[in-house]
Structure 1
Amino acid sequence: MQNHQHFLIHKPHGFLSQFVYAKKRSKKLLGELYDFPEGTMAIGRLDEASEGLLLLTTDGMMSEIVRGKSVEKEYYAQVDGIITEEAIERLKNGVEIGFNGIRYVTKKCDSKIVFELPDCIGEGKKIRDERHGPTSWISITLTEGKFRQVRKMTAAVGFPTLRLVRIRVGNIHLQLKAGEVLSIFEFEI
């Protein structure tokens, strides 16, 4: 039986969720944060502008389990404006977004307004200042993960995402500061 390695990372803004980037432009990659063993893969992805909890593993089967539709992923999104309860209800019930050139209605999900942020979110990249109007934070918990889904969902209800942080995958909660990596023996989702 092969001993696999697993890692938790707080992916900072501006990093790609990968180890190799084939295009000519230089990008910040996960390997710059830690000396991961060969064969390490990110379980799911966070786009370059997104932050937060990213699980990595050398176990392809674990990757499949975590990416499955039975595992919840929770995100905190800072949105443009003061979000309304009506918009939260629309998010909960599913909204229409575009995916691969077709229209798609998202599955029902849990969503709520967040009034107090955990310390692990940190300051992050400065998005803008008060001159540009108010912002608010929401939580969205999904079991699906279409391309840029949370950003598309908040835009669909009239509150574009300015900052996006994944704070939970299954029962694993973000507790690291941006850029920190934790090597673990195993994890349960």
Structure 2
Amino acid sequence: MSRPSDAQDRFSDDAVAVNPRLGPLEWLRWGWRTLTSMRTALLLLLALAVAAVPGSLIPQNSSDPNGVIQYQQANPGLSKVVEALQGFDVYTSFWFSAIYLLLFISLIGCVVPRLRHHWTAMRKAPPRTPSRFTRLPYSSSVRLRGVDVDAAVDAGSGCSARAATAPPGTARACRPSAATCARPGTSCSTAHSSAC
């Protein structure tokens, strides 16, 4: 597919964009923002997992010193390279320690600025329960035939004792909408028929 004849990548009046020079403070700020981003934390976590692989494949001095000696005798040339890269002491090596220290700093930098927001969200009162469940998008109704809803709900929830002690002519504390659902052949909301 060819480009149109009038397509231009640059125009004659475009100036070349020049980024400002960064001083030491700006470089520090950029480094801190890069280190404390969630993307960097995830990349460091992945790097830590990859860096742990040689510790599982190569015998370690801390857990299997005899295996290290056997590996050095079986592979004399390769064992010098592995020793230079601290492959026999992976979990105490400088590069593994650098990865997990950077990960630790990155996670602290990610979590600490968000602590106030999470603390206030945790201390907030939960939202109120909706009073009419039929307005919710996933509410449903069930047609009950020949079932006494009051008796079924009272038997399953232990409300019969409270309903029996309620004075005559007062609304029941357990189910204020039970009268409308108790009639056979009427449609009741599942939220009303299951909640006491």
Q: Comparing both chains, which one has the higher relative contact order based on Cα–Cα distances under 8 Å and sequence gaps of 6 or more? A: 1
State if a TM-score over 0.5 links the two structures.
no
- For Structure 1 versus Structure 2, the TM-score category normalised by the shorter chain is under 0.3
Task: Give the TM-score taking structure 2 as reference length.
Answer: 0.21
Task: Give the TM-score taking structure 1 as reference length.
Answer: 0.22
More helix by share: 2
